[in-house]
Each structure stands twice: as structure tokens, then as C-alpha cells.
Amino acid sequence: MMDDLRRRADAFAALGDPGRLRTVDLLSVGDMSPSEIAAALGMKSNLVAFHVNVLQDRGIARRVRSESDGRRSYLQLIPEAFSTLALAPRPVEGRVVFVCTANSARSQLAQAIWADHSSIPAASAGTDPGERVNPGAIAAARRHGIPLDEAATPRALGDVAATGDFVISVCDHAHEKLAGRDDVHWSIRDPARIGSAAAFDDTVVELRSRIARVASRLTAA
């Protein structure tokens, strides 16, 4: 774990230098010789050589010999270098459970949106369940083509959560009431406080954006 963290930290440190980042930008399009990099960046050859050595040492780029002139070499990016900079997906043994206070809007919408992004089952619950799903959430789901179960009844977290579930709180009240029993917290404002269609639409947009980013970070155990 610590070795992987150190490897990633070293790679990010290498990319933190403007000269090396500009070099990586060039190599993201195609392979280039050190002299071509120097000409493109207006950089001295000895500085290019330094940057190239760092990128090689950190496993970000490699040299390949020219098939035409063996004295010449080209630098190319290592495709796996960037895919391995991200954290490894987190295993989820059970479901993803979205929690808000009333389980009437944000958590219901999140559960419905999740199905478009992941095969991991999802559920929703509330710390203080309301009587019904908010009509504003139902209307927003219709506008955005989200298959929200309009007949769903808000449920308490204690009646929904099971061992192995990955709990995501989508409101501050729920997060603070859970006091660390959630795995992840998203601070999303309650659209019902404003009540407008725009407020619910904004909630849908934010949930979709967050779910699109996080779904790929979770994997079924």
C-alpha cells in the first residue's frame, strides 16, 4: 500500500514541473526525439535530457531506438503510466445505499441515476423518512428521463442497510447524524427548501456528475 502510494506521489511530483509537463503534452500526440523536443519547446538540450531522464526514472516515458538510424532515439509515453496513477477501485460487498434525511428527493434520485452507471445494486433510505417521495423530485425525474419509482415509500436506514453496504450520505443533516457510519459524504443542498423546478434540476445535474465520477471507483467484491 505504501509502496504504491510512494510510486504515485513520485509520478505526480515529476509531472509537477512545467518543463516535464510540456514534454508530456507533446508526447501525448506522438513520439519525439530529444532534439525535436528541444526545438519545439525552445529548451536547451541538457535541460531536455534532464527532464527525459526523470520521466524515464518515474516510469512515465521510455526511449526506443530508431529503426532507421540506431544512433537516434525517440521518447514515447508509457500508456499504463497514467492509468495506474489513479486509486485502485474500492470493492463493495453489498449495495450502494444513498441516504438523506427524508428519503424523499436526493437519495431517491441518486438511487435511480446510479443504475445507469454501475451494475452494483443501489438502494436509498432516510435518517428521518418522510411520508412520500417529493413531487418535485418526481417531476424532475420525468424531465430528465430518470426511471424514478413514483410509488416508492421512504424508508429508514435501519430498515434498509445491511452488512457490506457502501453508504453515501447526500445531505449534511444525514451525514452529521450518522456520525461516521457513512462511507462517503456528498454535501448537496436540499432542493425542497427552494421548491422550484430549477432547484430540483440542479440537484439532478450534480448527482449525475458525482455518480459518473464515483461509479468507476467502486467495484463489486
pLDDT beneath 70: ranges in the chain = 1-2, 83-87
| Nearest one of 141, 138, 84, 87 to 116, comparing CA atoms | 141
Q: Are strands 73-77 and 61-65 parallel, antiparallel or unpaired?
A: antiparallel
**Which pLDDT score, from 0 to 100, does residue 84 have?**
65
Query: What nine digits make up the cell of 116?
Result: 445507469
Look up cell 441516504; give the residue: 99
In this predicted structure, what is the pLDDT of residue 202?
97
Query: What is the share, in percent, of the chain residues with pLDDT greater than 70?
Result: 97
User: What is the distance, to the nearest Å, from the Cα of residue 163 to the centroid of all Cα atoms in its chain?
Assistant: 24
Q: Supply the DSSP symbol for 52.
A: H
Specify the pairing of strand 218-220 against strand 61-65.
unpaired
- Note the pLDDT of residue 2: 63
φ/ψ of 12, rounded to 5, equals -65, -35
Please report the pLDDT score of residue 8 as a whole number.
80
pLDDT for res 14: 86
